[in-house]
Chain A
Amino acid sequence: MTQVKAWAGYLLPKLGQFLFVVVATYTLVFVLVHFLPGDPLIAALAAKGGASTVIDPAELDALRVQYGLDGTLWQQYFGHLIAAAQGDLGISIATGVPVTEMIGRAFPFSVQIASLALLFGVTSAVLITFLAYAAPWPWLRQLLLQIPPFGIAVPAFLSGLLLISVFAFTLGWLPSAGARSFDAAILPAITLALPVGALFFQVFSSAVLEAQNSPYVFTAVAKGVPPRRIFTKHLLRNALLPSITILGLLIGYLAGGTAVVETVFSRDGIGRMTVNAVLARDINVIQGVVLVVGAIYALVNLLVDVAYGFIDPRTRIGGGVPSRARLGAKK
């Protein structure tokens, strides 16, 4: 019973935080769209029919009702919020298709490359960290540690085009575009994995280095435990917490990165859909995408918090306050 209570005390505030982030994301987007100069509907219609498009006022009013852009700001704010809670994100101005349906159709393609990218990125970051840890010569270690900052500085369109040029056109191993087969997902996933892996590496390697200087690793080394065992038993375990924390941030990176990567590889997906929506000034679609991405981000952070409670009991017992005895023992 006390166990249940402790969990409820731990989870309920986190759940509240989750809802807050989603509503606040919605609010931020709403404020940006409605308080920046310019009428979103007129901009979208001009993008559709050319700059000289003339629409008579009565028709414009009808279109406002159709796209949910009528009424006072408060009516729009709460109207859209309630609709969004029921899964209705409005209608695309450019195509007339419900936004929820568009996102639902594009989503699986993006998830495919994003999850592959996460897998590639995290695996190579762990591998490079291990190699740097086990490297017998300092220069090799330095060289390995220099690779990830490079990954952050490479523009995704450059790495993508290089991969296309080498693996699709010169060697002919993998397709350069499309989203129909699994092969077509490999190059985009590698492109996306570069910044994601580099970001993960920064957190992971510094956590490993920190653990490496700890007394328990010193003891293990003194006992003659082989390096690979120290890496898996001591370093990997202690680097787990900070690594999980950064997952939420990586999701944000992945969501932003798909815009460029899906354009480079001419792949269907959330990113390319968003780019097309911006080109068409289709504000309904952009709002929908940002809200969905914000909700996913908040959901991942919620799961990370729950995982924290499982992995490290200190964060759970006593409503989130670390237990004194355990902390004292650690010091």
Chain B
Amino acid sequence: MTNLRKPGFVLGLIIIAVAIVASLAPQLLATHDPFESVATDRLLPPSAQYLFGTDNLGRDLYSRVIYGAALSLLSASLAVVVGVVVGAIVGLISGFVGGRTDFIIMRFVDVLIAVPGVLLALIVVASLGFGPVSLALGVGLGAAGSFARVMRSQVLRIRSEEYVEAARTLGVRSPAILVQHVLPNAARPVIAMAALEMGTAILSVSALTFLGFGAPPPAPEWGALVSAGRDYVATNPGLSIIPGAVILVVVLAVNRVARSIGGDE
């Protein structure tokens, strides 16, 4: 609750709330049809009518950014979910089983962490094809290694706690101990890390859509908007810098709120 008195935290929450509304109900915030081009209104600077200006086809940039939130934020969220679920399962098994299995799994986790996330995502995208879902899978896989490591260290800590030994003495089976005792107690650091990972995932997803591996062209993904505006940097820099700044603001907001969640413990 003390967080609510910090202006940075509150501002972060407001930005996140707007971003969520934009991705779930873009029609509430958009002022124009994001796909409609007005031939006479091309490459206009920001104005009261077109808040962020218009692009080379005369489409309203503001509305395109609003409609792009759904694609960009949903793939980033999916990436975090993939990373958490895959990482948590691997870490849980590795830490709980222990011994040689643990050793072998963790060496592969080391490698997963060693290969740069972007390259890992590129392999997945090249194999599965382009699009928001394969992007999310690629980015999520890149993050899974660190989640596995955190989860495993939590499991190792909890495994030797008295309540787990008590449950074992009482004859509770391993899967039941995992679900009832280990998982709930290990969840908190993993959730805090997932919140921090969200900012990174938004950055990775927008970088990959910037490179052209997202949904095909008319889709207003944030990274794709920046990329489309690149040809006009000399004359209309706002076309790519405004969507880029939107990404930056959202990432800063997510990181700020995530840090408070993590620091709450």
Which A residues are closer than 8 A to B by beta carbons? 20-21, 24-25, 28-29, 32-33, 36-38, 40, 43, 149-150, 152-158, 161-162, 164-165, 169, 176, 252-253, 255-257, 259-260, 263-264, 274-275, 277-279, 281-283, 286-287, 289-290, 293-294, 297-298
* Size range of the chain B interface in the assembly: 35 or more
Q: Which residue of B lies closest to A33 (CB)?
A: B127
Q: Residues of B contacting A156 with CB < 8 Å?
A: 207
Complex CA distance for A149 and B110, rounded to whole angstroms:
26
Q: Which residues of chain A come closer than 8 Å to B203, judged between CB atoms?
A: 153, 155
User: Is A158 in contact with B226, judged by CB distance below 8 angstroms?
Assistant: yes
* A158–B119 touching, CB < 8 Å: no
Nearest-neighbour CB distance to chain A for B142, whole angstroms, equals 9
Report yes or no: A158 in contact with B112, Cβ–Cβ below 8 A. no
Residues of A with C-beta under 8 A to B252: 150, 153
Instruction: Tell me if B23 is interfacial: C-beta within 8 Å of chain A.
Output: no
Verify A154–B248 contact, CB threshold 8 A.
Answer: yes
Asked whether B124 lies within 8 Å of A169 as measured between CB atoms, the reply is no
Q: Which residue of B lies closest to A253 (CB)?
A: B116
Pairs across A and B, CB under 8 Å, 5 listed:
A158-B226, A255-B116, A281-B126, A286-B123, A294-B111
Chain B proximity of A285: nearest CB distance (Å): 9
Chain A residues contacting B244 (CB-CB under 8 Å) are: 155, 157-158, 161-162
Q: How many A-B residue pairs have CB under 8 A?
A: 148
7 residue pairs, one from A and one from B, having the closest CB atoms:
A158-B244, A256-B118, A256-B116, A36-B127, A24-B111, A252-B116, A165-B237
Beyond A155-B207, A278-B122, whether A283 also contacts B127 by CB under 8 A is: yes
Assess whether B9 is interfacial by the CB under 8 Å rule.
Answer: no
Cα–Cα, bound, A282→B125 (Å): 11
Q: Mark B108-121, 1 if CB is under 8 A from A, else 0.
A: 10111011111110
- The closest CB in chain A to the CB of B116 belongs to A256
The reply to whether the CB of B159 lies closer than 8 angstroms to some CB of chain A is no
Task: Tell me the bound Cα distance from A164 to B241 in angstroms.
Answer: 11
Task: State whether A155 touches B247 (Cβ < 8 A).
Answer: yes
19 additional A-B residue pairs with CB within 8 Å, beyond A28-B108, A29-B123, A165-B241: A21-B111, A25-B114, A25-B115, A28-B112, A40-B127, A155-B223, A155-B247, A156-B207, A157-B206, A161-B233, A162-B241, A255-B116, A255-B119, A256-B116, A259-B211, A275-B211, A278-B211, A287-B123, A290-B119
Cα distance, A68 to B128, chains bound together (Å): 20
Nearest CB of A to B229, in Å: 8
Whether the Cβ atoms of B119 and A21 lie closer than 8 Å is no
The yes or no answer to B240 lying at the interface (CB within 8 A) is yes
B35 within 8 A of A: no
A149-B255, A153-B203 known; A293+B119 contact, CB < 8 A:
yes
Q: Does B1 contact A (CB under 8 A)?
A: no
A243 nearest CB across to chain B (Å): 19
On whether A20 and B107 interact (CB within 8 A), knowing A28-B115, A293-B115, the answer reads yes
Most buried by A among B213, B227, B233, B241: B233
